[in-house]
Structure 1
Amino acid sequence: FKTGRAAAAIDGRDYVIPDDIKGVALQVVSHRIVLKPEAKIRGITGMHIMRKILNEVPVPVIQ
């Protein structure tokens, strides 16, 4: 979340939007994903997993 806040500040905002989090998620989280050896053999990386998650999980909407 701190990295998302930094991204928002760079864009001149004092609040975070979903795109701030999506923009930093690949670099911040992908290296923390532990893959099974089978996935590594198939060439799957943490970046692949994070891209899939970011593309498939909808952003929550506040009403």
Structure 2
Amino acid sequence: MPQHTRAPICRDCDGFATATITTGTRNTDGTRTTLPVACRACKGTARQLPAAQLVRAGR
């Protein structure tokens, strides 16, 4: 059964806000060098930010 959240999940990352990417090089102990990367749309929060509402200007 799905869980209900207060804020909608980010549509760009589907809730997986950070990912770890390997650089291809290895450390001296044999482990891979990795870089954490955050979603650009939600900035790592995994929640969709509310869209700015349009305001009608003029008449």
TM-score with structure 1 length normalisation? Answer: 0.27
User: Higher strand share goes to which structure?
Assistant: 2
Q: Which has the higher contact order (CA 8 A, sep 6+)?
A: 2
User: Higher helix share goes to which structure?
Assistant: 1
TM-score with structure 2 length normalisation? Answer: 0.28
